[in-house]
């Protein structure tokens, strides 16, 4: 009665011959630090045969699950029995009987904290660190399964070690698909937060807290954005080159420092080339130093006899050291910004007047039982080949993603021209000495009449006094789901009509 103590547990000699024959699981937490995604717990599952670890719920067929007699697992018994899974329990207060999962908890936490410490990331990123720890554990050898790794035993193939990168290092994902204008940078400095469990890509966190998942990422594994210490080799002197084991840095000369970008101009030459005593002119000024190299501004004489007109034959060249000065204006992000500029306000009025002149819509009350969808303005700067501004383009686009099938549209179709078709046409033109003309039809979609009754809200910034009125569309407009199909139908019918008239004229 007074000397009772726990007895030594005998080691289990049970042999498991196939994956998922027995799964160990346990709940870890709560953490005193909320994770970056708002979690306080995680649940891990370990396969008894391969020791492969999951850190989230799985959908594999399991024969038996062994847990401790914790309150978090008691309601699970009825569910497991309903799907044919046997729920095995350890004796109360004997966590060592579930030693496999308990040791795995310690393994995950130790590696996760090590990753956080080495990368100097805050503790709130423990969820990403633990996910990465499990990802690495599944691909590392273990003494439990000699001469193999958990990943190979589950998926019957070797893991891809070329995919691994240093946790918490600097990375530069390809962000061009997220850009809103052509002058935006194609990448941004981010922090590598591990591997996506749903995609074959990397998780990259930028300085604004946005998380990008991309497969096109360049890594600087010598730099850690959250570390206050500078790396031995600055990232500005690293150039990444292909290598069988990934992208490895190669020291190169430091790049020329550029002037900071202004909101109304982009200066593409070094700050040192701008004289401090005079304002910036329309062309770059060389430094007063006599040792400055000469710029190759003379037009080179082309020796090519090919009839194709190239940029060099046209006299359009770029200096090798200091490119020409590009003066431009930023594209507005809101209607209020656009209306405050005379140039953009004129572009919006031109688009609005063209829509009214084409009888694109008429104002009417919304019928009972019908719904509307919105519209928005898209602003683009059209440039000439030399970079100067050609015109300011404002286009009104319908929010077609709010359209309802069977109510606002029925059929859709979008014709895509394959490159091989263009090559065939060009080949025929060259063979038969045909002349080729390229035309651009302004507001092509606006030439097509709609068959459906479609209602759109009034354009922002051009609302009438009677605000309850809506726009009943008579013509197709950019952004509508049926607009490409309607234009293709109109264009095809017109071409066939031309061909028919020509055949009748011949007859």
More confident residue, 301 or 243: 301
Nearest to 374 by CA among 450, 474, 454: 454
Euclidean distance between CA atoms 121 and 119, whole angstroms = 5
- Express each pLDDT in 68-83 by its tens digit: 666 667 777 887 777 6
Neighbours of 288 (CB within 10 A): 9
pLDDT at 432: 94
Residue 443 backbone zone (phi > 0: left; psi -120 to 50: alpha; other: beta): left
pLDDT confidence tier of residue 54, bands split at 50, 70 and 90? confident
- Structure tokens of 230? 């500078």
User: Residue 260 in contact with residue 204, Cβ under 8 Å?
Assistant: no
Nearest to 394 by CA among 457, 427, 351, 357: 351
CA angle 284, 287, 289 (to 5 degrees): 155
- Please identify which residue in the block is written with the tokens 């898209």: 378
- Please identify which residue in the block is written with the tokens 């040192």: 272
- Express each pLDDT in 380-402 by its tens digit: 998 888 778 888 999 999 888 88
Nearest to 164 by CA among 133, 189, 209: 133
User: Residue 166 in contact with residue 221, Cβ under 8 Å?
Assistant: yes
Segment holding 471, helix H or strand E: strand 470-475
Return the bridge partners of 432, or none.
none
State the DSSP string of 131-153.
Answer: HHHHHHHTTS--TTSTT--HHHH
Beta strand 361-364 pairing with 42-47: unpaired
More confident residue, 423 or 319: 423
- Express each pLDDT in 82-110 by its tens digit: 767 788 776 765 655 567 777 888 899 99
- Express each pLDDT in 304-351 by its tens digit: 666 666 666 666 554 444 444 444 457 888 899 899 999 999 999 999
State the DSSP string of 36-79.
Answer: TTS-S-EEEEEETTT--EESS---S--SEEEE-S-TTTTTHHHH
pLDDT confidence tier of residue 9, bands split at 50, 70 and 90? low
- Express each pLDDT in 131-171 by its tens digit: 999 999 999 988 887 778 999 988 888 898 999 999 999 99
Cis bond before residue 30 (omega within 30° of 0): yes
Instruction: Show the domains of the chain with their CATH numbers.
Output: 23-155 (3.30.420.10), 161-251 (no CATH), 335-506 (no CATH)
DSSP, collapsed to helix, strand or coil, labels residue 168 as coil
Whether 8 has a pLDDT exceeding 80, the answer reads no
Euclidean distance between CA atoms 69 and 65, whole angstroms = 12
Neighbours of 396 (CB within 10 A): 21
- Structure tokens of 402? 């709010």
More confident residue, 369 or 172: 172
Residues 453, 457, 463, 466, CA torsion sign? positive
- Express each pLDDT in 37-51 by its tens digit: 877 777 888 888 888
User: Residue 485 in contact with residue 491, Cβ under 8 Å?
Assistant: no
pLDDT at 235: 42
């Amino acid at each position: 009665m007074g000397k009772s103590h726990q007895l030594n547990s005998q080691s289990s000699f049970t042999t498991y011959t196939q994956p998922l024959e027995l799964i160990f699981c346990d709940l870890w937490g709560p953490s005193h630090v909320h994770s970056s995604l708002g979690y306080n717990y995680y649940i891990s599952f370990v396969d008894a045969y391969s020791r492969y670890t999951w850190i989230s719920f799985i959908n594999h067929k399991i024969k038996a699950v062994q847990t401790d007699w914790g309150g978090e697992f008691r309601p699970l018994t009825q569910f497991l029995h309903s799907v044919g899974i046997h729920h095995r329990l350890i004796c109360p207060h004997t966590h060592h009987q579930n030693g496999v999962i308990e040791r795995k908890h310690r393994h995950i936490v130790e590696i996760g904290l090590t990753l956080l410490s080495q990368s100097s990331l805050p503790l709130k990123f423990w969820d990403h660190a633990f996910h990465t720890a499990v990802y690495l554990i599944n691909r590392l050898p273990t003494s439990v399964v000699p001469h193999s790794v958990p990943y190979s035993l589950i998926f019957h193939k070797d893991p891809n070690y070329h995919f691994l990168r240093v946790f918490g290092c600097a990375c530069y994902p390809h962000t061009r698909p997220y850009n809103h204008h052509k002058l935006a940078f194609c990448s941004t400095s981010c922090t590598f937060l591990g591997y996506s469990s749903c995609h074959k890509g990397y998780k990259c966190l930028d300085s604004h807290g946005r998380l990008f998942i991309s497969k096109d990422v360049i890594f600087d594994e010598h730099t850690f954005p959250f570390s206050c210490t500078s790396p031995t080799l600055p990232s500005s002197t690293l150039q990444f080159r292909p290598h069988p084991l990934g992208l490895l840095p190669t020291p190169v000369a430091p790049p020329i420092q550029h002037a900071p970008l202004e909101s109304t101009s982009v200066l593409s030459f070094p700050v040192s080339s701008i004289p401090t005593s005079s304002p910036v002119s329309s062309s770059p000024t060389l430094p007063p130093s006599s040792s400055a190299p000469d710029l190759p501004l003379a037009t080179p004489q082309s020796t090519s006899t090919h009839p194709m007109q190239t940029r060099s034959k046209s006299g359009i060249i770029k200096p090798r050291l200091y490119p020409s000065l590009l003066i431009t204006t930023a594209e507005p992000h809101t209607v209020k910004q656009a209306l405050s500029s005379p140039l953009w306000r004129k572009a919006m009025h031109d688009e609005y007047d063209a829509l009214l002149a084409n009888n694109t819509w008429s104002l009417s009350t919304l019928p009972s039982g019908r719904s509307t969808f919105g519209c928005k303005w898209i602003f683009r700067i059209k440039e000439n080949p030399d970079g100067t501004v050609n015109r300011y383009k404002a286009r009104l686009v319908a929010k077609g993603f709010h359209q309802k099938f069977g109510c606002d549209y029925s059929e859709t179709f979008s014709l895509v021209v394959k490159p091989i078709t263009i090559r065939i046409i060009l080949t025929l033109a060259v063979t038969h000495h045909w002349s080729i003309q390229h035309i651009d039809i302004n507001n092509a979609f606006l030439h097509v009449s709609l068959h459906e009754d479609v209602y759109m809200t009034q354009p922002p910034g051009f609302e009438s006094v009677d605000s309850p009125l809506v726009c009943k569309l008579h013509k197709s407009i950019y952004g509508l789901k049926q607009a490409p199909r309607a234009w293709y139908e109109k264009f095809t019918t017109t071409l066939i009509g031309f061909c028919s008239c020509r055949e009748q004229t011949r007859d």
